[in-house]
Amino acid sequence: MTWQEEFKRNITSAEALREVLPMTDEEYRLIHEEAERFPMAISRYYCSLIDPADPDDPIRRMAVPSSTGSSLEGLLDTSGEHSNTILPGIQHKYRQTTLVLVATQCAMYCRYCFRRRFVGMDEDPTAKVQDLIGYLHEHPEITNCLLSGGDAFLQDTKKLESWLEPLSREPQLDFIRLGTRTPVTFPIRITSDPSLPELLGRIGEKKQLYVVTHFNHPKEFTDEAYKALRMLQEKRVVIKNQTVLLKGVNADPDTLAELLRKVTAAGIVQHYIFQCRPVVGATNYFQVPIIEGSRIVNAANAMQNGLGKCADYTMSHVTGKIRILGQTDNGEMLFQYKQAKDPSRIGQFFTKRLSPDEKWLN
């Protein structure tokens, strides 16, 4: 079976989900209602990782709409993406980087997704390659592009090539990043289609490629996931991981520590542990208070070797990427701008006294 055929078998309705996961009538009604608001898609593979006997299964929590995740509290654009969009689908927030939306679909719609305002919806906010190339030429300060979405691998290989081929010829770019969660949620995209690793290998001869993926729980490291990762690594693609700290999924030191160890053992470079954004539907269900999150991350890091603790606990804020460093002796939280929309802030430290339940900097 091709990945496209398998993709069509995704579970996208409460009816289809009920055939594979036990649920009460009330749960069925709520899943149906919530999936009307923000689309549901769960690949058969990712669904098979759920323990049907465990209502609190972490994979289930990330993938299946729930009543407590249906709160409309929160925002749809938490990082100011709208104001950073300079051409359709092209964002320029940080001096050296452009973020480019190249796809609107994902193999699984994470229930905490910060782009849920458009992923899986009819709206098409994707960019055009000629717009991107023109913008790059006007902005020689840009040294890398992040192709994201949606999921950059959820387009056919020819379409992906139409992005990578011209970008690989741009001397101003040091490297290209590709944002994809397919190694985690849909590894068949990589393992069943040799044209994809072949393309990445060919482009990689001209321009270094980074795949930024998104493992959140140790259960996601399956034989299929390892196989997909290896196929990318064999093509000299550097894989980085960003994790979101999620209540009920990985927000305890032991689970997070095990995840970080598995990431390192798979030859993946640690990138970020993100504070979950205050997205509509995620604030109460997934967000962990900052003080508690900092304790969890520091405790998990204490169980790592040097490579395992390279991920910064970070808030992707409207003003920039803010590292959450920990609590000072007087009880204030210490932060530092790792990246900032206003370059004069980069590197700046600041402190703030937070209440134990504060989950974001407003």
Residues that bind ligand SF4 (CB under 6 A): 106, 109-110, 113, 115, 119, 149-151, 181
What is the DSSP annotation of 193-247?
Answer: -THHHHHHHHHHTTSEEEEEE---SGGG--HHHHHHHHHHHTTT-EEEEEEEE-T
Nearer to ligand SF4, 75 or 346 (CB): 75
Tell me, letter by letter, the H, E, C secondary structure of 103-169. Answer: CCCCCCCCCCCCCCCCCCCCCCCCCCHHHHHHHHHHCCCCCEEEEECCCCCCCCHHHHHHHHHHHHC
Nearer to ligand SF4, 149 or 218 (CB): 149
- What's the min distance (Å) between Cβ of 151 and ligand SF4? 6
- What's the min distance (Å) between Cβ of 276 and ligand SF4? 11
Nearer to ligand SF4, 100 or 119 (CB): 119
142/99 Cα distance (integer angstroms) = 11
Nearer to ligand SF4, 59 or 119 (CB): 119
Q: For strand 320-327 and strand 97-101, is the pairing parallel, antiparallel, or unpaired?
A: unpaired
311/303 Cα distance (integer angstroms) = 13
Nearer to ligand SF4, 150 or 320 (CB): 150
- Per-residue burial over 4-20, b if 16 or more Cβ lie within 10 Å, else e, is eebbeebbbebebbbee
- What's the min distance (Å) between Cβ of 153 and ligand SF4? 10
Nearer to ligand SF4, 42 or 199 (CB): 42
Q: What are phi and psi of 180, to 5 degrees?
A: -150, 140
- What's the min distance (Å) between Cβ of 284 and ligand SF4? 18
Place of tokens 């430290």: 349
- What's the min distance (Å) between Cβ of 113 and ligand SF4? 3
- What's the min distance (Å) between Cβ of 112 and ligand SF4? 7
Nearer to ligand SF4, 239 or 340 (CB): 239
- What's the min distance (Å) between Cβ of 277 and ligand SF4? 10
Handedness of CA 20, 22, 28, 31 (dihedral sign): negative
303/292 Cα distance (integer angstroms) = 17
Q: What are phi and psi of 15, to 5 degrees?
A: -60, -50
